[in-house]
Every structure is written in structure tokens, then in C-alpha cells.
Amino acid sequence: MPGGFYHTILRGNGRQAIFFDNEDRDQWQDILQDGLVRYRHRLHAYCWMTNHVHMAIQAGSDPLAGFMRFLASRYARYLNRKNQRQGHLFERRYRAILVQKDLYLKELLRYIHLNPVRARIVADAAEYRWSSHNDYLRLIKTDWLTVDYLAAMFGTEVGSARTQYVSFMTDQPSDDTLRLLRDGVPDDERVLGDDNWVHKVLGDNEATTRRNNLDEIVNDACQRNGVSEALLASRSRSRRHSSIRAEIALAATENGCATLTEVAKRFERAHSGLSRAMNRLRDKNQ
């Protein structure tokens, strides 16, 4: 959802490590910065653990799935080359929970920054280098991180906002809050908010959101590759066109805005052929 805030989690396949040294984390951040610019998203908070990452991302006009696929595939290729390895680095599907900002955005910020403390890596979140906590303490400034929006939720003046943030971080969230931030609401793990907000997001607006997001994915792919949708739906057997259709199918299915059958019907292609092309692309990206 454009403008929505997502708790995004990406884990190593089988809980394996995804970072082995500081060079890996630096490379991850370089790729992340490129992706934020390319896909026009904002990152409000992060924590890079050894075998998984947490991010608070505000989606721009481009679907979140494209950004996550770019980030995961580019980093996986880097690490595979560095370590001369093959196979899947990440779990096939990242987690993205759409968060109601008025109720849970501050809680999400605390959840992300206290990850190393809960894991008993450090006693104080400020001791952990690979999170955005020290940006909120105003001890460092990271150019590709958006701090002011969430910081303003603690106060309009920098000094008082920092004081309120520090006080907020000393309180421990309840176990129920931790579970909700990690898993979403029990009835639908894609969202976290009160009943009215969840109904509005998933009920009244879901069909429109799904349709609009698929249109955005198709339009974005066509613009980036210099082709028209009509050409992709033509009888052309071009390998390049097949690759673009697979790219669209992968983004649409991972983003939850269309089924593979719907994408195949849109481009007048056989489900089986599009499925094979999509799976080849997914394996190549890992």
C-alpha cells in the first residue's frame, strides 16, 4: 500500500547466517541504499542480526515486493561470489506486516531496536552498531535513513524528543505486543491494527489495492524494459519478453496482488509455461 508502514523481516534459509563480517553488512547497506532510491521507499528503522534483518519501511508508489526482491537477490549474488557457494541464501518469502501507525509504529521502533538486547548480544541497544538506535539518540547520522518522522512522535523539539525516546526505550513491551509485532493479528498475518482499520485495509480496499498494485507492477516493468503491455500479450516468442512476463508474475505473486493464473490470463499465456519461467527467475535471483 503506497505510504503504508511495514514491519519487514527477511531470514536466512534454514536460519543460516547471512552476515559473516562487517564487510558483508557494509555491502548490504550499499545495496539497500541503491534500492531505496530506485524504488522510492523510506527506511525508518532497522536492525541487522546475524541470520535475519528487521526493517520499518514506508512504501512509496512502487510495490514493496520489487524492492525486497532487488535487495535479496543482489546481496545473495554478492555473498555467493565472495564465499564461492551456491543455493538459496534467504527464505523464499520475506515477511511484511502492514502496521497501523497511530497504534503500533512507536512500538515497532522499540521492537526493532531492542532485538540485540532480547538476544542477549548486548545489554544496552546503544552498544549494538548495526541498528538505527544511535541515529535516534542523535549520536550518528545515516544519510539513507529517515529519522525525523518517527522522532517527531516523541516531541517536536530535538532535545525533548530524544529524552522521551530514551525513556520509552527503557520500558519493556508486553509479550502480547511482541507477538503481534512479530506475527500480525491472529486472523491475518499481513496486518497489525485495530478491527476497524484492519477491515478498511483488507475488506473495503483490498480488491482495488490488488488491481492497482498489479497495474503498477506491469507499468513499471514495461517502462524499465522499454516495451508495451500489448507486446507482452502478443504472440511473440521472444525470450526477453518471456523473461519480463516472469518478472511481473514473480513480483505480483510475492506481493499478493495477483495469482499466477490472473497474470497468465492478462498476457494470454499458458499457466504452466509462465510458472516454469517464474520459477527459473526465482531460482536465479536467490
Is 276 in the same domain as 188? no
pLDDT value of position 197 = 84
Indicate the range of 71-80, 180-189, 233-242 predicted with least confidence. Answer: 180-189
Cβ–Cβ < 8 Å for 28, 19: yes
Is 60 in the same domain as 155? yes
Mean pLDDT computed over 18-31: 97
Confidence bin at 97 (pLDDT 50/70/90): very high
The pTM of the whole model exceeds 0.85: no
Is 97 in the same domain as 168? yes
pLDDT value of position 63 = 82
Is 84 in the same domain as 27? yes
Domain boundary among 193, 222, 251: 193
Asked whether residue 105 is assigned to any structural domain, the reply reads yes
pLDDT value of position 87 = 78
Asked whether residue 123 is assigned to any structural domain, the reply reads yes
Asked whether residue 198 is assigned to any structural domain, the reply reads no
pLDDT above 60: residue 184: yes
Is 210 in the same domain as 188? no
Is 210 in the same domain as 72? no
Asked whether residue 23 is assigned to any structural domain, the reply reads yes
The domain that holds 173 is classified in CATH as 3.30.70.1290
pLDDT above 70: residue 246: yes
Boundaries of domain holding 221: 205-285
Asked whether residue 10 is assigned to any structural domain, the reply reads yes
Is 127 in the same domain as 39? yes
pLDDT value of position 206 = 55
Helical segments of 84-205, H only: 101-113, 115-118, 133-136, 148-151, 158-170, 175-183, 195-199
Q: What is the pLDDT of residues 142-182, one digit of tens each?
A: 999 999 999 999 998 999 999 999 999 998 888 899 989 98
Is 92 in the same domain as 183? yes
Is 164 in the same domain as 237? no
Asked whether residue 89 is assigned to any structural domain, the reply reads yes
Asked whether residue 185 is assigned to any structural domain, the reply reads yes
Is 101 in the same domain as 223? no
Rounded to the nearest integer, the mean pLDDT of the chain is 89
Which distant-in-sequence residues (6+ apart) come within 8 Å of 48 by Cβ?
19, 25, 28, 130, 131
Domain boundary among 193, 224, 245: 193
Cβ–Cβ < 8 Å for 116, 47: yes
Is 48 in the same domain as 188? yes
CA dist., res. 209 & res. 257, Å (int) = 8
Q: What is the pLDDT of residues 205-238, one digit of tens each?
A: 555 555 557 888 898 889 888 999 999 999 888 9
pLDDT value of position 77 = 92
pLDDT value of position 16 = 93
Query: How far apart, in Å, are the Cα atoms of 88 and each of 18, 77, 94, 221, 251?
Result: 11, 10, 13, 25, 18
Is 77 in the same domain as 33? yes
Mean pLDDT computed over 244-249: 92
pLDDT value of position 224 = 85
Number of domains in the chain: 2
Amino acid at 57: I
Counting residues of the chain whose pLDDT is more than 90, the rounded percentage is: 62
Mean pLDDT computed over 120-144: 97
Phi-psi region of 155 (alpha: psi -120 to 50; beta: other; left: phi over 0): left
Q: To which residue does cell 532510491 refer?
A: 37
Domain boundary among 169, 193, 217: 193
Q: To which residue does cell 530524544 refer?
A: 162
